Amino acid sequence: MSKKKVLFIVGDFVEDYEIMVPYQMLLMIGHDCHCICPGKKTGEYVMTAIHDFEGHQTYSEKPGHRFVLNADFDAVDPTSYDALVLPGGRAPEYLRLNPKVLQMVRHFAEANKPIAAICHGPQILSAAGVLKGKECSCYPAVEYEVASSGGSYVPPNDTFSSAHVSGNLVTAAAWPAHPAWMQAFVRLLGTKIEL
């Protein structure tokens, strides 16, 4: 397997499972993963939030963990990375306001590098203007943003466990889709796993 460099863009109140699990999965199979946040440096942390589906009209939110960043936002060169991951939670709603975040996302889209986005992560893709002509799954509350930016919304299955691939983009609605989402992303990366 050829080792890939994967960049994660996160912020405070990123969804806990949507940063922890894919980060650990990709490390486990040998990829080099760097996690950055605007205004923060290596060794600093973001707070996470746990979103759960408990029968209410929307998800509930509980405090998560401190997730330690392992790269400096201001020092990162996106051209040195092979792929991008955009977790969900509440962070994307304000990360999409950061011009440098949007510039980084555009680099990955224009270079046709693999991009994985989940839950509210497609809010950043929408703000970056990279969804035109793409199919995109996301948390249902983000459907309007996907459609208004020129993308086609792909609804999740009933258990929120499905993922969707559209060219270099793999998307999913929420953390129950991790197995399908990461499997599709690993395929886009060209990773072969020997058991």
Give the residue numbers marked as catalytic. Answer: 119-120
Question: Phi and psi (nearest 5°) for 93?
Answer: -65, -25
Q: Which of 77, 93, 86, 103 is nearest to 5 (CA)?
A: 77
Q: Provide the token pair at 147.
A: 């459609």
User: Which residues, other chains included, contact 80 with Cβ-Cβ below 8 Å and sequence gap of 6+?
Assistant: 5
Q: Shortest CA distance to 177 belongs to which of 17, 7, 9?
A: 17
